[in-house]
Structure 1
Amino acid sequence: MIVKQLDEDKVEVVGTVPARCSIRGFKAKIIISGNHVVSGECECGSFPCSHTAKLYLMFMARKRSR
Structure 2
Amino acid sequence: MPLTFRKSFRILPGVRLNINRRSWSITTGGNGNGPRHTRSSTGRRTTSMDLPGPFGWRKTTTKRRRGGH
Q: Please classify the TM superposition score into its range, dividing by the shorter chain length.
A: 0.3 to 0.5
Return the structure number with greater relative CO, CA threshold 8 A, min gap 6. Answer: 1
Q: Which has the higher helix share?
A: 1
Q: TM-score scaled by structure 2?
A: 0.38
Q: TM-score scaled by structure 1?
A: 0.39
Kindly name which structure, 1 or 2, has the bigger radius of gyration based on alpha carbons.
2
